Amino acid sequence: MSKSVIVKNVTKKYKLYNKTSEKLLDILLPKSYGEDFYALRNISFEAEEGDIIGFVGVNGSGKSTLSNVIAGVVPQTGGTVDIKGNASLIAVSAGLNNQLTGRENIELKCLMLGFSKKEIRGLEPDIIEFAELDKFIDQPVKSYSSGMKSRLGFSISVHTDPDVLIIDEALSVGDKAFAEKCLDKMNEFKARGKTMFFISHSIGQMKQFCEKAIWLEFGQVRMSGDIKEVIPEYEKFLNEYKAMTNEEKKNFREKAMQQQSESTVTS
Amino acid sequence: MSSMFKVIKEQIESFYLIRRLSLYELKSTNNNNYLGMMWELLNPGIQIAIYWFVFGYGIREGRDIDGVPFFQWMLAGIVVWFFINPSISQGSKSIYTRIRMISKMSFPMSVIPTYVIFSKLYPHMVLVVISTAILHFTGYPISIYFIQIPYFLFGTIALLLAISLITSTLSTIVRDVQQIVQAILRIMIYLLPILWVTFSLPEWVQSVMKVNPLFYLVEGYRHALLGQGWYIISDPYYTLYFWLIVFILFWIGSALHVKFRKHFIDFL
């Protein structure tokens, strides 16, 4: 099996500014203003074709940033991401135009992804069928419920046949029946040797679906490997975290913040 | 210089997309209204009526301008303003309002201001046709000078693209730029020979006003629509100046755009 995604030493640095004037000075002057914040630091991993990798971690650990970097939405500050083929990100608010109808959104999105008019006409019925929108398809997207939006977003992304699929919490708004359907579709993708990344707080879904997992903490990889090894450790940590007093939780978060704003880390 | 060629190449390669996307853009801005795209014509119509009332009927008391009635004179100049005004204001916020939706797509980002401008082009062309028809039946029939219109249209698009490349980049980085652009647009109509006549001003004031490249376009449209002469050659240095300005602005715009576009999403 060949490697489909190679992530090497990826770092993402954000700047935190206390005043808007600092932001302006930082752009204009060569001197650095504001505070550094490392959302990701030195992340390296490889994925093979057909791998399904889950990202776990508490809020703010860098899961969404990492998925955005892999999808190419957000540029990394350092390191490299090599992807064989094209990557598609599915998030809850996955780029739908609220003013246009569902059908127009399908056309628009496919157009932007480089499909021709004829190809779009071929894909359209399948997308509508899968999204289960029925007569809502000709209503503006702003009238959709969040479940409907994510169904449409998922359906479009899945049917445009990406080589690498990144699913960021997109299934958590759908009902169980739709989640099952998506899982079926994803299993079909898996059989065709596509790589998938799965981000969810639902450990149940994770266990059901992923084979490998990467546990992120403070923007770094805390543990990676087989799902059977990582998830129990992560659950253990979660229970410990839950058992902490508020004071301890606060200390934990402060430690995290401090670590993420230092330029070098010795841990 | 290389970024300029890059941007031009991207525009040509994505021309099909620009055309298709601009239609969706036009649709999504007008979907909410019952009258839909009619507003693209109704709005200019209402403004023309009030400007004629205030400036033509009120201030000028119905006097004509070198033999041209005020209404026709104003119409021939204001037509292009209804293209320039929304194009610059929408064009400069085109990137930061859309980047979340289209940050990962298979087309270059320099196309975003272009398709927003193109979505304003369709109502403009309809407006030109309507104005031509009105002028044709009110004493200014279509003449040979009318063939200057495609040239001035091309010049307008080129200038608008150059300006939007600059303003869309700057307003993504510093959001205040959008406010500055709006403020300038609001006064701009009074700095152009659209609503009032500038010949009576001292020579040097007129020259200063002509530094503005939009002056060239307004006068050009007027000469073409009213059949007043070949504006392109009647003042060749002004034509040359206009294209020099377009070139410089486009150069600055594409350099800025290419330099910052990778990081646009970080500025949100």
Say yes or no: B203 contacts chain A, CB-CB below 8 A.
Answer: no
| Nearest CB partner across the interface for A113, out of B32, B105, B262 | B105
Which of A238-242, B165-169, B226-230, B249-253 is predicted least confidently?
Answer: A238-242
Tell me the nearest-neighbour CA distance from B192 into chain A, angstroms: 33
10 Å CB burial of residue B127 (0-12, 13-18, 19+) is: buried
To probe the interface with B, which of A108, A120, A141, A143 has the most B CB atoms within 10 Å?
A108
| Nearest CB partner across the interface for B31, out of A95, A100, A114 | A100
> CATH code at A68?
3.40.50.300
Q: Rounded to whole angstroms, how far apart are CA atoms A203 and A56?
A: 9
**Residues spanned by the domain of A219:** 1-86+194-267
Q: How far out from the chain centre does Cα B90 lie?
A: 11
Tell me the nearest-neighbour CA distance from A1 into chain B, angstroms: 28
Query: How many angstroms separate the most distant Cα atoms in chain B?
Result: 57
In A, residues 131-160, which contact B (CB 8 Å cutoff)? 140
pLDDT tens per residue, range A66-76: 888 888 888 88
Residue A170 placed within a domain: no
Residue of A nearest to B30 (CA): A99
- Tokens (6 digits) for B176: 């205040």
> Are the beta carbons of A15 and A195 closer than 8 angstroms?
no
Say yes or no: B173 contacts chain A, CB-CB below 8 A.
Answer: yes
Percent of chain A with pLDDT over 90: 0
Q: Rounded to whole angstroms, how far apart are CA atoms A178 and B207?
A: 68
Residue A188 placed within a domain: no
Q: What pLDDT band is residue B103 in, cutting at 50, 70 and 90?
A: low
In A, residues 5-34, which contact B (CB 8 Å cutoff)? 14, 24, 27
* Stronger pLDDT, A220 or B149, i.e. the higher one: B149
Report how many domains make up chain A: 1
pLDDT tens per residue, range B41-72: 889 999 999 999 999 888 888 788 888 898 99
Q: Which residues of A touch B105 (CB under 8 A)?
A: 112-113
Report how many domains make up chain B: 1
B148-157: b (≥16 Cβ within 10 Å) or e? bbeebbebbb
Average pLDDT over residues B136-163: 92
Radius of gyration of chain B (CA): 19
Residue of B nearest to A68 (CA): B104
Instruction: Report which DSSP code applies to A11.
Output: E
Residue A152 placed within a domain: no
To probe the interface with A, which of B32, B97, B103 has the most A CB atoms within 10 Å?
B103
Q: What is the pTM of this model?
A: 0.84
CB spacing of A140 vs B100 below 8 angstroms: no
> Is 60 exceeded by the pLDDT of residue A266?
no
Tell me the nearest-neighbour CA distance from B98 into chain A, angstroms: 9
Tell me the nearest-neighbour CA distance from A244 into chain B, angstroms: 35
Look at residue A173 in the predicted model and tell me its pLDDT.
Answer: 66
Q: Rounded to whole angstroms, how far apart are CA atoms A196 and A192?
A: 11
B206-243: b (≥16 Cβ within 10 Å) or e? eeeebeebbbbbbbbbbbbbbbbeebbeeeeebbeebe
Residue A50 placed within a domain: yes
DSSP A36-105: EEEEEEEEEEEEETT-EEEEE-STTSSHHHHHHHHHTSS--SEEEEEESS-EEEEETT-S--TTSBHHHH
Residue A2 placed within a domain: yes
Residue A209 placed within a domain: yes
Q: Rounded to whole angstroms, how far apart are CA atoms B268 and B266?
A: 6
Residue A166 placed within a domain: no
Say yes or no: B24 contacts chain A, CB-CB below 8 A.
Answer: yes
Which of A27-31, B45-49, B137-141 is predicted least confidently?
Answer: A27-31
